[in-house]
A and B are shown apart, each in its own frame.
Chain A
Amino acid sequence: MQEARVKADLAQASSAIRLHQTRAYWLRILAAIAALIVIAVAINWGAHGAFLQPGNILRVLRQITYNCIMGVGETFVIITAGIDLSIGSLISLSGVVMALFANALPLHGFALIAATLIVGLSVGALAGFVNAVPVVKLNLPPFITTLAMMQVALGLSFMVSHGRPVPLQSTDFQNTGFGVLLGGITGAMHLPGIPVPVIWMIVIIVAGSVLLMRTPFGRYVFALGGNEEAARLAGISVRRVKTMVYVISGMCAATVGFLYMALFSSGSPQTGTGDEMLEAIAAVVVGGTSLMGGRGTIVGTFFGALLIGLLYNAMNLLSIESYLQKVVLGAVILLAVVLDELRKRYLRRT
């Protein structure tokens, strides 16, 4: 009987804390949105109203899409206390390979798009698998294996494309690259439609969040990042889970490669060779995921990417020169991480 009472008490305490946690989670999201609105209004004032135009907001969303999708994959890797440096090069390699396949496949319309995407995802998954093998078999640091993959994938990309962009012969990809959804409805309201890549981003964020927060796999990802040995002794196949996170990261990079290819109507080896990888990692970290592993969210990564995107956009509107933009962005990344650390210390103290 006493046990039953303890159980009832526990259930109550637990649901109270759960409610508290859920509330805290949404409160943080609301706070992030509120902070962004404040920043946005300030920028808007500085940019004479050009910032808060629906067209400009959608432009920001569209610009962060690629960064955010890469960030989703990278979030999984970083929660296991790993890192994937190869994602930029994988955009390049998968884009080139997909363009070559798309030109060679005797297909049209949806079938062509689907087959091309599958080819690209396979390239990303394979590269992620290769990234993971030395990590799980020999316990090598992922920093090194993915650094090697970064070079290998880029080299391969230039080899198969002979260093030149591969133009798509089919026009079937145009809607994926720069089409809009609900164009009719929003058009009637004199608003721009939602870009198709943004829809991709939203779907991937939701799918990634569910995978991370609601499935055993996601739980194992956290367990691995928190204490790998305890996870292993609990019967979790550490190798399988670790391999999967690099495969997911590779597939996310390949998805970005696909979207870029559709956008530019060609697969170029130059794509993804700039700051893409670093900015994706920045989005993850600014979004509150710990580089030490064991802690993080996909939604946080989205907000991290959004913050970075808004800053770039605002600086462009305010005509800040691009070199200074980099300095500001670096400072913001540092500030975000410092603030997060201070917040954690504050919470620990109270």
Chain B
Amino acid sequence: MRDIGKSFPGVRALEGVSLTLYAGEVLAVVGENGAGKSTLMKILAGAHPADAGEIFVDGRRVAIETPRAAEDLGIGMIYQEFNLVPALNAIDNIVLGNEPVRGVFIDERAARDRATAVFAELGIVLPLDTEVSHLSVAQQQMVEVAKILSRHARIIVMDEPTAALTERETDRLFEIIKRLKAGGAGILYISHRMEELPRIADRVAVLRDGRLVESRAAADFPPEDVIRAMVGRRLEAHFPALPAVKADARVMLDVHDLRRAPAVNGVSFAVRAGEIVGLAGLVGAGRTEIVRAIAGADVPQEGAIEVGGRAIRIRNPSDAIACGIAFITEDRKAQGLVLGMSVRENITLAHLRDYVDRDLLIDAKREEAAASESIAELRIRTPSPEQLVRNLSGGTQQKVVLAKWLLGEAQVFLFDEPTRGIDVGAKSEIYFLMVKLAERGAAIVMVSSELPEVLGMSHRILVVRGGRIVLELPRERATPDAVIAAAAGAAA
């Protein structure tokens, strides 16, 4: 790709970006949200045409105007949200749009042979006849890989492929990427995760504000340098210092023998005022389900919950909110925000009743003042409270979710993957906010799949496996090895 440029109304998304991808290598493209990674990817995929610049494949100048053209050139995309039809099985998904036919019917046997051949090549075993919606995220991803390979893709673009994978699944994915490399494919690997780069990338290219700022061999591009190139300034310590929990701090949240089959099987723990407790574990261990049950998002079947020493009963989210529990969900677009509403409307949504006059009409002035105050306090980067949340970046959206929950008098905060998919700068700000909440005496539970985050941001770490707490470690004694071993089971 040479001198690629792309403008959107009011934004230059990409400016003069030139990248070269060789056969048999992994080129990692990193950058903060809004740096231009997705735009670059969409140009390659034929979803958006480039405004300027040229693209060469095998030395031949090409125009990629449609997704079909990209496919014909051997470019295959693996998006974060997969492009699979959930109700079809793996075989049907692989041959979709390309079905081998005998007369007017699909040749089922040829389809199966084609799918089996690709999976054999990749060394993957998975149930071919199961609807893909019943497969795990990692398996679905494998189906995606197989799908694009069956179309003879030689240029493979992967967008955050490990975002939803466990450590072990990530290892398997990396194995497969190595096989693809050996087979002569070039892989463009888009990622947020610094720690992956030395393991998988041959070269690393850093985008910032739509420009290519640096590109080096992965071997002599240490993560610190990568981060510096990404943010354009030297980062201070990644995590803020945690204030010590006061010796006489009272228990704010007490959970006893919480159960909700099949994911939560008897969980007990307590969190004191000013304390941050991290829930670590593999994907599917039941961490999200634990916080969902406390927040009333799913109704617990058994167990007792006390907030501030008072036993409470939670049958739905509004019960939990009334008891001072705030739940910051892992998927902000699907669960945290109404994207078509303004920043103001989203911020006040959970506490709208506080801005009502004479029990009837919303007091627009007071509502707006509250929203503006939150925006200023959290430094939410929006041109105005009336901006639609849809138009904001991921990190800014996450701050809107936080603003919504900070508006009430919540004393217990449940964070589920609070920094997933947001850039380094916004991450720091969210950590800082968590610390501020702890200083004010809130009790915080944080679920996170990023080990450094759990280790860096928790006073205490609880490792969850099979819906139970299998290990409790104070921050000082918590090591990555200990946590991973407990999360994966003693045998591992």
Contacts and interface: CB of A to CB of B under 8 A. Distances in A.
**Residue from the set A6, A10, A231, A233 with the largest chain B CB neighbour count within 10 Å:** A233
Nearest to A6: B376
Contacts of B368: 11, 14
Interface in A215-263: 215-216, 219-220, 222-223, 226-227, 229-237
Given A3-B377, A13-B384, A214-B361, A223 B341 contact: yes
Contact of A226 (B339, B369, B375): B339
Interface stretch (B118-126, B300-308, B330-338): B330-338
Contacts of A31: none
Nearest to A18: B386
Interface string B367-395: 01100110111010001111100000000
Nearest to B349: A234
Given A226-B339, A231-B338, A10 B385 contact: yes
B337 A210 contact: no
Contact of A233 (B9, B335, B375, B379): B335
Interface stretch (B40-48, B350-358, B445-453): B350-358
Given A13-B384, A223-B338, A230-B338, A235 B377 contact: no
Contacts of A13: 383-384
Main secondary structure of the interface of A (DSSP, over half): helix
B57 interface: no
Contacts of A236: 318, 349-350
B295 A350 contact: no
Contacts of A7: 372-373, 376
Contact of B9 (A215, A219, A229, A350): A350
Contacts of B200: none
Given A215-B360, A223-B349, A233 B386 contact: no
B321 interface: yes
Contacts of A233: 295, 297, 317, 327, 329, 335-336
B338 A226 contact: yes
Interface residues of A, number: 35
Contacts of B360: 215
A10 B372 contact: yes
B485 interface: no
Interface in A1-53: 3-4, 6-7, 10-11, 13-14, 16-18, 21
Contact of A219 (B340, B349, B404): B349
Contacts of B377: 3
Contacts, number: 106
Residue among B338, B344, B376 with the most chain A CB within 10 A? B338
B337 A230 contact: yes
A142 interface: no
A265 to B, nearest CB: 37
B338 A227 contact: yes
Contacts of A294: 338, 340-341
B345 interface: yes
Interface in A171-195: none
Given A3-B376, A222-B341, A234 B404 contact: yes
B362 interface: yes
A14 B335 contact: no
B207 to A, nearest CB: 25
A237 B386 contact: no
B299 to A, nearest CB: 12
Interface in B177-204: none
Interface in B14-51: none
A26 B410 CA distance: 40
A7 B384 CA distance: 10
B335 A230 contact: yes
Contacts of A229: 334-335
Given A227-B338, A231-B349, A294-B338, A219 B362 contact: yes
A31 to B, nearest CB: 21
A231 B361 CA distance: 19
26 contacts: A3-B376, A6-B379, A10-B375, A10-B376, A10-B384, A11-B372, A14-B344, A14-B368, A14-B372, A14-B384, A14-B386, A17-B384, A215-B356, A216-B352, A216-B356, A219-B349, A220-B352, A227-B335, A230-B349, A233-B297, A233-B317, A235-B320, A235-B322, A236-B349, A294-B338, A295-B340
Interface of B: 9, 295, 297, 316-318, 320-322, 327, 329, 334-341, 344-345, 349-350, 352-353, 356, 360-362, 368-369, 372-373, 375-377, 379, 383-387, 404
Given A215-B356, A232-B317, 8 more contacts: A14-B384, A215-B361, A215-B362, A231-B349, A233-B335, A235-B350, A237-B316, A237-B318
Interface of A: 3-4, 6-7, 10-11, 13-14, 16-18, 21, 210, 214-216, 219-220, 222-223, 226-227, 229-237, 294-295, 349-350
